[in-house]
Structure 1
Amino acid sequence: MSTLLRCRKEATALLGESLRVYWALLKVMVPALLAVKLLDMLGGTALLGKLLSPLMQLMGLPDSLGIVWATVLLTNIYTAMMVFLDIAAHETLTGAQITIMGTLLLLAHSLPVEGAVAKAAGVSWRLTLTLRIGGALVLGMLLHWFYAATGWLQTPGQVLWNPAASADTGVVGWLMDQVVTLLTIFPIILALLTLLKVLRWLGIERLIHALLFPVLRILGIGKDAANVTIIGVTLGLSYGAGILIREARSGQLQPRDIMLTLCFLGLCHSVIEDTLLVVLMGADLSGILWARLLFAVVVIGILARLPFMRRVGVTLPLTVKESFRGD
């Protein structure tokens, strides 16, 4: 009986957590979707696509996907996925293009929120934006050249999650499509959170820790900061940065470790949940997981050896100190 009660308690907690995540997403997604639709009706989509066209072309992507990246920069991956699905329903994209788009989404998303979190822990907005937007562009171009040169993923991609669109192409039809899609997001969140718990129970998180720990040490990230990095890599930037702020307050982490850790997490965080989410778009793991991991390691390895990183002092950054005033 105790086992049954424990299972019920775990299931109830999981359902409650899923509902909280879902509600938080809805509060962001619904206004963002309406804003994007209004932008489209006013001709803003075409204008934005034209403005981003040179960048999209550098990565072998059609102009229409510019609005997807613009959406994810300001909101989150779920919202950008919905915009992407609307475009993918009317345009044929190769597996390479979907993978490159998915990589852009993973490297540079939710910047107003995640940039503020990084700022609170001591990383400037300038560094965050340069690293994540610039990094996304560089990796996107590298993947485009690689896939084009090898001929890999050049066939039409397969979108794994594609809610059926209504026959009505007007505003009412669009609203119905969005309602259906929003409703289907909850079971996806529930499934992802369940999978995360199963992976934790199976020890997959510990395996990731064991694999990444030696790499982080090579990058010059200390032992204490490496443990926090693993948390951010598996659970997300906000979790990792939150713990970093707490550790910084206690004085257990050096400013250099804090900066390197946050820069690494900016390029590579929530590798389980976010990666599985983008897989539903039809993206290939070669780009959204393996290339992203390798790219993050190389970039942080270079960053750690730059002169300005050697001058990072032994005192906390001013932004970290300010974040604790009045506590």
Structure 2
Amino acid sequence: MSGIKEFLSRTFKDSVNVATTLYKVMIPTIIFVKIFEEMGGVEWFSDFIAPLMQLVGLPSEMGLVWATAMFINIYSSLVILVNLDVPMTVAQASILSCMILLAHSMPIEVSLAKKSGVSVWWAIVSRVGGALLFAWILQLIYSTTGSLQDPAQIIWQTSVSGDIPLTDWALNQVQNLGIVFVIILALILMLNLLKVLGIERLIAKALSPFLRLLGISQEATNLTLIGITLGLSYGGGLLVNEARKGHIPPRDVFTAITLLGLLHSLIEDTILMLVIGADFNTIFWGRLIFVLVIVGTISRLIRLVDGKRYERLFYRSVAI
């Protein structure tokens, strides 16, 4: 009984810590977007990015949601999505989810890639370009087959929308932040249960052979698996540490960081995207296959620059 109480207590404390960190970013973001919206900024930005969103079959307003995910984080983008209140099909929710999953929290995560020796331009292009390419492929598949055209069932709905008094809007945001905490609590509880049940280790074990096929060395494989299951901050941070010690070759670090940029927090982020009505097979299996194929191709091509003068355009040694 004491073990269960300790488990629940730790889960709650972790949830409070995560929520507190996120709120420090989300609350200023919500206020900024509200001011941006009142000044006509949302409409302007939607018109500006509309051609790109049309290319992947999304409403123009989703450009702001994706931009928020890229520059801030996933949770902030979901708050923006709920406030915009734009209906989508399951196909559109899946496409948007994949774009967010492949390219989010860029300032922090690109900085981590830079510390590992991977070039900044590559860290940005691989993720933004990968997100757009995957979204375009999904759009072609969905439009050709006519699949997943039912309305997306968004679990998290805002209680009021449209032209409302500022006090009602503020109360609605407080409610949304409360829902964010509930989501975080549920996610951390589920992640902790998966760890206890050993499911997380099973996923890592299943992915290990694929990582070796990508040319990632044994030294980097375990750290990469940590990043895939737990998050880029965990796996990427460990990779940076090992790269500085010179334990992992720069090319292996490059391949591992490229993979982690496109595929990390496989459990947590996938569950999070289900909240907006995305298709599980698309955001989990589809994303997994796409990333493995893309990174597999990149890992073969990057060998052509190994040892050449222009390899520094892609990666460099950070060994101390």
Whether the 8 Å CA contact 2:71–2:106 is kept in 1: the answer is yes
Question: Residue in 2 aligned with 1:285?
Answer: 280
Change in Cα spacing, 1:8 to 1:59, as seen in structure 2 (3 Å) is same
Post-superposition shift, 1:172? 2.1
Deviation at 1:240, TM superposition (A): 0.8
Look up the equivalent residue of 1:127 and give its one-letter code: W
CA change 1:308–1:213 in 2 (3 A) is closer
Q: Which residue matches 2:121?
A: 126
What's the counterpart of residue 320 of structure 1? 318
Q: Does residue 268 of structure 1 match 2:255? A: no
SS at match of 1:154: coil
| C-alpha separation in 2, matches of 1:158 and 1:182 | 20
Partner of 2:227: 232
Matched residue count = 316
**Greater CA deviation, 170-179 or 29-38?**
170-179
- Contact map agreement 2:204 2:229 (CA 8 A) in 1: no
Q: Which amino acid in 2 is paired with 1:45?
A: V
1:215 corresponds to 2:210:
yes
Query: Which segment is superposed worse, 159-168 or 50-59?
Result: 159-168
Query: Partners of 2:48 and 2:42 in 1: how far apart?
Result: 10
Q: Give per-residue Cα distances to partners, 1:97-152, cap 9 Å, x unaligned.
A: 11111111111111011111111111111001101111110100100110111111
Q: 2:201 aligns to what?
A: 206
Asked if 1:249 is matched to 2:244, the reply is yes
Distance in 2 of aligned mates of 1:84 and 1:238: 25
- Counterpart AA for 2:21: A
2:94 aligned partner? 99
Whether contact under 8 Å (1:53, 1:63) holds in the other structure is yes
Give the partner amino acid of 1:250: K
Q: How does 1:191-202 map to 2 (within 5 A)?
A: 191-202=186-197
1:40-51 map, 5 Å: 40-51=37-48
**SS of corresponding position for 1:231:** helix
Distance 1:75 1:167 in 2: 24
User: What letter corresponds to residue 120 of structure 2 in structure 1?
Assistant: W
Q: Residues 58 and 165 from structure 1, CA distance in 2 versus in 1: closer, same or farther, beyond 3 angstroms?
A: same
The sequence identity of aligned pairs, in percent, is 41
Between the aligned partners of 2:180 and 2:307, the Cα distance in structure 1 is 43
Q: In structure 2, how many angstroms separate the alpha carbons of the residues matched to 1:180 and 1:52? A: 30
How far apart, CA to CA, are the structure 2 residues paired with 1:140 and 1:187? 29
Alignment of 1:62-211 (within 5 A): 62-87=59-84, 89=85, 91-165=86-160, 169-211=164-206
Q: Which amino acid aligns with 1:171?
A: L
**Residue 163 of structure 1, CA deviation:** 3.9
Aligned CA distance change for structure 1 residues 308 and 43 (closer, same or farther; 3 Å): farther
Task: For residue 61 of structure 2, give the secondary structure of its aligned residue in structure 1.
Answer: helix
8 Å CA contact 1:166, 1:176 repeated in 2: no
Change (3 A) 1:295 1:270: same
What is the Cα deviation at residue 309 of structure 1?
5.6
Q: Which runs of 5+ in 2 are unaligned?
A: none
Root-mean-square deviation (CA, aligned residues, Å) is 2.0
TM-score computed with the length of structure 2 as normaliser: 0.93
From 8, 15, 23, the counterpart of 2:20:
23
Q: Give the Cα separation in 1 of the matches to 2:274 and 2:251.
A: 34
Provide the TM-score with structure 1 as the length reference: 0.91
More divergent stretch after superposition (133-142 vs 181-190): 181-190
